[in-house]
Amino acid sequence: MYRYAQKLHQLLRSLLILSLITATNAQAAQKIDLIIDTDPGADDIVALLFALASPDELNVRALTTVAGNVRLDKTSRNARLAREWAGREEVPVYAGAPKPLMRTPIYAEDIHGKEGLSGIAVHEPRQGLAQGSAITYLIDTLKSARPHSITIAMLGPQTNLALALIQEPGIVQGIKEVVVMGGAHFNGGNITPVAEFNLFADPHAAEVVLKSGVKLTYLPLDVTHKILTSEARLKQIAALNNNAGRLVGDILNEYIKGDMEHYGIPGGPVHDATVVAYLLKPQLFSGRSVNVVVDSREGPTFGQTIVDWYDGLKAPRNAFWVESGDAQGFFDLLVERLARLK
Ligand code: BDR
Ligand code: CA
């Protein structure tokens, strides 16, 4: 009888240990292995602080930088500043493409300021760039990654990933999903009447990514223009009373002015940060699987995303198009995460 009880006890103990191991593995498996491709950029910095403050869900493997809002040397410095401010200097920053695939480079200094960071002072960060280019980093990492294991948050023109795909199409095997901030359908554009900045800045690159067959999610202006700052939301950020809150507050207070004036809206969008919120809490957002093409022909529709929302063409649905989001849910999550930083 005693031996029987002892055996049962041993069995129960092994089962408990097994279930603990399984739970830990499941938690680890749920973490998103993430590369953030970015052109900081005021809203990029908010997105980077947001992501780097969320290590339980996001395993940020690297930041890769691209020319976009400002020149590559400045976006690369600003990305290094973001990791310094987040206390995450172990995350490598690789500099990538200094110009788009084919078109003449454009910048958005009028919105983001000469240094690419509205509302705050910049300095030379303590840590330098990682050795090697972002394109080589993407190729090496995605080629050797477990099948469909790495997510790419695409916060600027898509030049780096396009170059990597052109050089080594096989890297698609390592990509789980590419989550893009870019494009516009219902909202209209922000750089031309129909084009959004990131797509307009390098439509040929966006085309390469669209045609590669990777799983794609787009967070276009349609959704980012529904998630606006307000006085109350800016107060939520100011009340954090930490350095991250002060930085984000100062950046946003300046950054939102342009859009508020241009569109006559009561607050400003924080475009790139919606990608991070989508990764952390997709239930805050809704959208539809659609067929998307990018117009890369010269002319008034250059850079426009053409979205078959009603499936009139019966063409393959190559992207999930996020159309709406919970604005207060977004700001609550952002504030909760910024509170974790210094
Ligand atoms: C996008 O363009 C850039 O200026 C912002 O950083 C964002 O990625 C919004 O259209
Ligand atoms: Ca950006």
Q: Give me the domain span that covers residue 129.
A: 33-338
Say how many Å lie between the CA of residue 31 and the centre of ligand 2: 24
Looking at all shown ligands, the one closest to residue 79's CA atom is 2
How buried is 147 (Cβ within 10 angstroms: 0-12 exposed, 13-18 middle, 19+ buried)?
Answer: exposed
What is the token pair recorded at 92? 């490598």
> Does some domain include residue 285?
yes
Q: Is residue 46 lining ligand 1, measured as CB closer than 6 Å? A: no
> Does some domain include residue 27?
no
Q: Is residue 212 lining ligand 1, measured as CB closer than 6 Å? A: no
> Does some domain include residue 21?
no
For residues 337 and 342, give the distance between their C-alpha atoms in angstroms, rounded to a whole number: 11
What is the token pair recorded at 63? 């930041």
> Does some domain include residue 331?
yes
Q: How much is the pTM?
A: 0.92
Q: Which alpha helices (H) appear in 70-202, and where do they start and end?
A: 72-85, 109-112, 134-144, 159-167, 197-201
Looking at all shown ligands, the one closest to residue 182's CA atom is 1
- E strand or H helix that includes residue 32: strand 32-38
Say how many Å lie between the CA of residue 12 and the centre of ligand 2: 53
For residues 341 and 50, give the distance between their C-alpha atoms in angstroms, rounded to a whole number: 9
* Total domain count, the chain: 1
* Active-site residue, 9 included: no
pLDDT in tens, the chain (342 residues): 455 555 555 655 654 444 444 444 444 458 999 999 999 999 999 999 999 999 999 999 999 999 999 999 999 999 999 999 999 999 999 999 999 999 999 999 999 999 999 999 999 999 999 999 999 999 999 999 999 999 999 999 999 999 999 999 999 999 999 999 999 999 999 999 999 999 999 999 999 999 999 999 999 999 999 999 999 999 999 999 999 999 999 999 999 999 999 999 999 999 999 999 999 999 999 999 999 999 999 999 999 999 999 999 999 999 999 999 999 999 999 999 999 999
> Does some domain include residue 142?
yes
> Does some domain include residue 262?
yes
> Does some domain include residue 250?
yes
Q: How large is the greatest C-alpha to C-alpha distance in the chain, in angstroms?
A: 87
> Does some domain include residue 41?
yes
Check which CATH number belongs to the domain holding 122 and give it: 3.90.245.10
Say how many Å lie between the CA of residue 272 and the centre of ligand 2: 6
